[in-house]
Structure 1
Amino acid sequence: MPEGDVVWLAARRLHEALAGRPLTLSDFRVPRFATADLRGREVHEARSRGKHILIRVEGGLTVHTHLLMEGRWRIRRPGPRPRDHRIRLVLANAEWQALGYSLGLVELLRTAAEDRVLGHLGPDLLGPDWGAEAAAEAVRRLGERPDRAIGEALLDQSVLAGIGNIYKAETLFLCGVNPWTPVAAVPDLPAVVDLAHHLLDANKEQPGRMTTGNRRRGWEYWVYRRAGRPCHECRTPVQRAVQKSDVGDRATYWCPRCQPAPSNG
């Protein structure tokens, strides 16, 4: 699933291509909004909110999309109307065409009603309002369920928005915290939140991501998708297991030596 950095970059590219220009084409290829027509309306802005993208247009309307597992946006010069069955939304102006492929969610709503669908989200790790207050709120929300495993809690978008499985695994490795550690037993929750923000922010403006500082193939991540391979730090084989969460079962990766299991006592 694309995480907050990928969504942030997609929103920025949509903003650069669409904002400040009237739409010459809007093609919603989802039954509920198949008759919607935004032609002639100027796009005010495109921005991300966690893993969601909001494209706000003239007339108080917002195009709300979510990439879910396989969605992506492509920007290209105008041309014949694309017929690819994977495309669920086309927005175009005289200069650019934005094609939404395999989008998990496409809806049109009143801009004033955005909180109805996004109001449950926690502080956005890549939001323009991220700062000490937002970080403190994320820590507070983590602490509301102290017995929950930290690996589960970090994926809860109502706690903090934008983090996914990759950054969960990498953040916890760098903090030396086992994914099954109860939130209450994590030594420094503010440090976990701060590092998650730092990793997402460091990767948001570049294609491809890394958390190690090394772009060599196989060295981009510390533990993510490295099950059975030696830890870059201690050479202990990286472990993998399924961990349940509010967003479904997720594969979790960790080094048993660098991230020792929490004690029962």
Structure 2
Amino acid sequence: MPEGDTVWQAARRLHTALAGKVLTRSDLRVPKYATADLTGRTVLDVTPRGKHLLTRVEGGLTLHSHLRMDGSWKVYANDQRWTGGPAHQIRAVLGTDDRTAVGYRLPVLELLRTCEEERAVGHLGPDLLGPDWDPERALANLLAAPDRPLGEALLDQRNLAGIGNVYKCELCFLLGATPWLPVGKLPADRTAKLPVLAQRLLEVNRDRPTRVTTGRRGQDLFVYGRARRPCLRCGTPVRVADQGDGSRERPTYWCPSCQTGPAPAPGSPATRRVRSHPAV
């Protein structure tokens, strides 16, 4: 699933292509909005909110989309061939005199009144890359359920908006805690720096084509995707296991030496299930 920095980049591309321009083409290919026509309206802005995209148009309307695992927005010049996937995967087309934005495989696409945007994104916690970022509120949200595993709490967009599975794993590594450590058991000094570190990681990566958390050229991430490879700090093989709240299990990477706290035992069901996961 795209994380907050990726969605921020998508919003910037869409805003640059569409904002301030009149739509000359509008095609929403979902049954509920098949007859909706935004042609003739000016695009006011495209704003990211956590992992959500809000495309606001003249007349008090907002096109809300979410990329989830496979969705994407591509921007093309009007004489350029569309290459984001087969035509049957297109869910939205927004065109101007010189650019066309095409939304592929969008699992969430809805047209709502701008004054009702909170219905779609009001449940989100402070946005790590947004003007509403509030580290104290984000920390209070995380600590409200002290027994919850740190990794699950970080992924809960109601606590803070923008962290996905990659940043979850990398943050836990930088904090020296396993993703299964209860939030309330994190040492006080590391608890205090958690929201600041999270925001810093997304902020430094929002303008980069490749996400980097290590500061090392050619070694972009500390643990994510590095199962059975040596830890970049201590050389211990990185481990991977499933973690989830029951709704979705995600491959979770950690160093058993650099990170303290509970974790699935080698050979446990969570570890066995993830061995064939494509992210490993």
TM-score range, shorter chain: over 0.9
Shift in alpha-carbon separation, 1:190–1:246, aligned structure 2, 3 A: farther
Q: Which amino acid aligns with 1:195?
A: L
Query: For the aligned residues, what is the CA RMSD?
Result: 1.6
Q: Please name the residue that 1:211 is paired with.
A: 213
Q: Distance in 2 between matches of 1:86 and 1:215?
A: 36
Q: Please name the residue that 1:126 is paired with.
A: 129
Cα offset, 1:245, TM superposition: 2.8
Cα offset, 1:205, TM superposition: 1.1
Q: How does 1:65-104 map to 2 (within 5 A)?
A: 65-79=65-79, 84-104=87-107
Cα offset, 1:162, TM superposition: 0.5
Q: How does 1:214-225 map to 2 (within 5 A)?
A: 214-216=216-218, 219-225=219-225
Q: Please name the residue that 2:62 is paired with.
A: 62
Provide structure 1 residue ranges, at least 5 long, that are not aligned to the other structure: none
Q: How does 1:153-164 map to 2 (within 5 A)?
A: 153-164=153-164
Cα offset, 1:108, TM superposition: 0.3
1:147 aligns with 2:150: no
Q: Distance in 1 between matches of 2:77 and 2:247?
A: 37
Q: Which amino acid aligns with 2:210?
A: G
> How many pairs align?
258
Q: Distance in 2 between matches of 1:252 and 1:245?
A: 13
Shift in alpha-carbon separation, 1:214–1:243, aligned structure 2, 3 A: same
Q: Which amino acid aligns with 1:256?
A: P
Q: Distance in 2 between matches of 1:31 and 1:80?
A: 27
Q: Distance in 2 between matches of 1:153 and 1:108?
A: 30
**Deviation larger for 69-78 or 45-54:** 69-78
Shift in alpha-carbon separation, 1:30–1:215, aligned structure 2, 3 A: farther
Q: Which amino acid aligns with 2:234?
A: C
> CA-to-partner distance for each residue in 1:152-211, whole Å, 9 max, x for gaps?
100000000000000010011011111111111111323111111111111111212111
Q: Distance in 2 between matches of 1:44 and 1:136?
A: 32
**Deviation larger for 234-243 or 185-194:** 185-194
Q: Please name the residue that 2:52 is paired with.
A: 52
Structure 1 runs of 4+ with >2 Å offset: 79-83
Shift in alpha-carbon separation, 1:80–1:175, aligned structure 2, 3 A: closer
Q: Please name the residue that 1:198 is paired with.
A: 200
Say if 1:23 and 1:39, in contact at 8 Å, map to a contact too: yes
Q: Which amino acid aligns with 1:204?
A: R
Q: Distance in 1 between matches of 2:140 and 2:64?
A: 28
1:38 aligns with 2:50: no
SS of residue matched to 1:154? helix
SS of residue matched to 2:110? strand
SS of residue matched to 1:210? coil
Shift in alpha-carbon separation, 1:9–1:247, aligned structure 2, 3 A: farther
Shift in alpha-carbon separation, 1:63–1:239, aligned structure 2, 3 A: same
Provide structure 2 residue ranges, at least 5 long, that are not aligned to the other structure: 264-280
Percentage of matched positions with identical amino acids:
55
Q: Which amino acid aligns with 1:260?
A: T
SS of residue matched to 2:88? coil
Shift in alpha-carbon separation, 1:257–1:13, aligned structure 2, 3 A: same
Q: Distance in 1 between matches of 2:229 and 2:23?
A: 50
Q: TM-score, normalised by structure 1?
A: 0.93
Q: Distance in 1 between matches of 2:81 and 2:61?
A: 24
Q: Please name the residue that 1:242 is paired with.
A: 242
Q: Distance in 2 between matches of 1:72 and 1:78?
A: 18
Q: Distance in 1 between matches of 2:242 and 2:112?
A: 36
